[in-house]
C-alpha cells in the first residue's frame, strides 16, 4: 500500500512538472473566432439600428465594441506565448486587426449619425443587411482556418458576394440625394453613405487576408 501511494505521488509530481515545462498551447484560432463572433453580434445590432436608429441597438453596438477590444487583447497575449500556431501568426494578427476595423467603422458611423441627428433610410438599411450577412460569413470562414482551407475559402467568397452589392446601393443612394432640398441633410447623408461603403471595404479587407491565409496553408 505504501509503495502504491509513493508511486501515485511520483506520477502526480511528474504530471505537474510536465504541465509546468509544457503548458497547454493557447487556441489562437478559437480566440480569433471569439473576436469575430462579438463583431458579428455588433453588426447585427448595427443592422437593427440601421432599420430604425433606436438607442438600444446603438448601446449594444458600443458594448460589443468594448468586448471585442478585450477579446483582441486576449488573442494578442496568446500569440506572444504560443510556440506554434495552426495558421501563421502574422495572418492571425492581421485578420484580428482587420476584423477589429469592421467594428470600428460601424461604431464611428453610428456615433457620427447621432451627432448629426441623421436617421438611416431604406438605402442605409439595405446596405446594413448586406454588411451583417457578410460579417457572419467572415466569421464562418475564420472557423475553417487550420481545418479545411476549402471551407474557409467558400465562406470568404460568400462574404464577398454578400457585400458586393453595397456599392450599387451606395450609388443609388447618392443619386437620390439630387432631389432633396435640405442641403444640411444632403451633406450629412453623403458622408454617412460613404461610411457604409467603408464598412464594406473593411469586410473585403478581411476576405482578402482570409484567402491569403488559405492559400499560404494549402
pLDDT digits (tens, 9 = 90+) for 161-192: 999 999 999 999 999 898 887 888 899 999 99
The pTM of the full predicted model, rounded to 2 decimals, is 0.84
The pLDDT of residue 18 is above 50 = no
Backbone φ and ψ for 216, nearest 5 degrees, come out as -65, -35
Does any domain span residue 102? Answer: yes
pLDDT of residue 3: 53
Total structural domains in the chain?
1
Q: Give dist(CA 18, CA 205) in Å, integer.
A: 41
The DSSP code sequence of 37-100 is: HHHHHHHHHHHHHHTT--HHHHHHHHHHHHHHHHHHHHHHHHHHH-S--SS-HHHHHHHHHHHH
Does any domain span residue 3? Answer: no
pLDDT of residue 85: 74
Does any domain span residue 9? Answer: no
Domain enclosing residue 72, as ranges:
27-217
pLDDT of residue 13: 47
Q: Give dist(CA 55, CA 76) in Å, integer.
A: 32
pLDDT of residue 218: 58
pLDDT bracket for residue 83 (50, 70, 90): low
The pLDDT of residue 17 is above 80 = no
Q: What is the mean pLDDT of residues 35-41?
A: 97
The whole-chain average pLDDT of the chain stands at 87
Q: Give dist(CA 103, CA 47) in Å, integer.
A: 12
Does any domain span residue 195? Answer: yes
Does any domain span residue 87? Answer: yes
Nearest 5°: CA angle at 124, between 122 and 129? Answer: 95
Question: Tell me, what CATH number does 80's domain have?
Answer: 1.20.58.220
Does any domain span residue 177? Answer: yes
Amino acid at each position: 500500500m505504501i509503495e502504491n501511494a509513493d508511486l501515485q505521488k511520483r506520477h502526480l509530481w511528474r504530471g505537474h512538472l510536465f504541465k509546468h515545462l509544457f503548458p497547454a498551447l493557447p487556441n489562437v484560432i478559437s480566440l480569433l473566432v471569439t473576436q469575430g463572433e462579438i463583431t458579428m453580434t455588433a453588426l447585427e445590432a448595427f443592422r437593427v439600428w440601421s432599420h430604425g436608429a433606436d438607442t438600444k441597438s446603438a448601446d449594444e453596438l458600443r458594448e460589443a465594441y468594448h468586448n471585442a477590444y478585450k477579446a483582441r487583447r486576449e488573442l494578442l497575449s496568446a500569440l506572444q506565448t504560443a510556440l506554434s500556431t495552426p495558421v501563421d501568426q502574422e495572418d492571425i494578427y492581421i485578420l484580428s486587426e482587420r476584423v477589429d476595423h469592421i467594428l470600428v467603422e460601424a461604431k464611428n458611423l453610428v456615433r457620427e449619425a447621432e451627432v448629426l441627428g441623421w436617421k438611416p433610410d431604406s438605402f442605409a438599411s439595405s446596405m446594413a443587411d448586406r454588411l451583417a450577412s457578410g460579417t457572419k460569413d467572415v466569421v464562418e470562414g475564420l472557423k475553417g482556418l487550420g481545418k479545411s482551407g476549402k471551407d474557409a475559402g467558400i465562406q470568404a467568397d460568400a462574404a464577398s458576394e454578400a457585400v458586393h452589392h453595397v456599392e450599387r446601393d451606395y450609388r443609388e443612394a447618392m443619386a437620390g440625394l439630387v432631389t432633396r432640398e435640405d442641403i444640411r441633410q444632403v451633406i450629412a447623408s453623403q458622408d454617412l453613405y460613404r461610411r457604409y461603403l467603408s464598412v464594406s471595404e473593411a469586410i473585403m479587407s478581411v476576405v482578402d487576408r482570409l484567402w491569403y491565409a488559405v492559400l499560404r496553408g494549402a
